Amino acid sequence: MIIVTGGAGFIGSRLIKALNAEGHDNILVVDDLSDGKKFKNLSALRIQDYEDKDVFLKKIIDKSYSKETEVIFHQGACSETTEWDGRYMMENNYTYSKEVLTYALDHQIPFIYASSAAVYGNGQNFQEEVAYESPINVYGYSKYLFDQWVRGLLPSAKSQIAGCRYFNVYGPFEDHKGSMASVAFHLQQQLQQGDTVRLFSGSDGYANGEQRRDFVYVDDVVAVNLWLWENSTARGIFNIGTGRAQTFNDVARAVIHEAGRGEIEYIPFPEHLIGHYQSFTEANLSSLRNAGYDKSFKTVEEGVAAYWRENNAP
């Protein structure tokens, strides 16, 4: 059995699609379908079973989960960076993750999990080291604290633990994420309703739309997850981005190019995001490359084109 927590979510469902393509359908999806719209991400996929995240957690705590497991891809989390209920965030992203990892270690099951570039906060050095990690919201802190717990376990772990520190992931299957969906998604939606795409005005010394992020296409992220499973000696926490920051203007221009129409409008930078917004991210990929991963990552232009083609296929 392959367990994918958050399997009805964005990256989780895309990961299952890739597993299906490799011939795997013995998959247990663990998720919370309170938002029933997420079922659409699973409807075309082949899975063996589904369990609610709370039911699954109870089973592993009670030691009543007995299915033989090949690997756990732990993608499930509250990913809303604007959520400030710290208790809720820590229960979902920290405590839950600790329980699942404890189960994995007890049974020597490879554990590949989702971390986040949010741990770096407003820093300018994006290397997987504590000295450069300073989250600016409780979401980032929940991911940061779990990474610290993992680091304490790695020296004695008898099975693989690999953290995927995702940068700005975009691509198909993210429709359900609402305000947390990528800028590429929102700009495509805006062009379906008119001829204008909207970006934030300048912030943190950047000109309008010139804030720079490491935008990484979801299928590239999935490829790293699968590679980690295939390479059990790769252990630790790894940045998963392209290694090159591009501007929000680049994303907007790429969407406009694919649509064949559109203009950019700049809107005032939201007051509630001041001090809580990453205006620059760029993954340092040295740890991932040193571990042996040598595949390339799509540019914004390549990724947006692939995203557009899939969303607009006849």
Q: Which residues of 263-273 are buried (b: 16+ CB within 10 A; e: fewer)?
A: ebbeeebeeee
Q: Which of 177, 206, 277, 293 is catalytic?
A: 177
- To the query of whether residue 139 is one of the catalytic residues in this protein, the response is yes
Q: Which of 65, 139, 141, 217 is catalytic?
A: 139
Catalytic residues: 139, 177
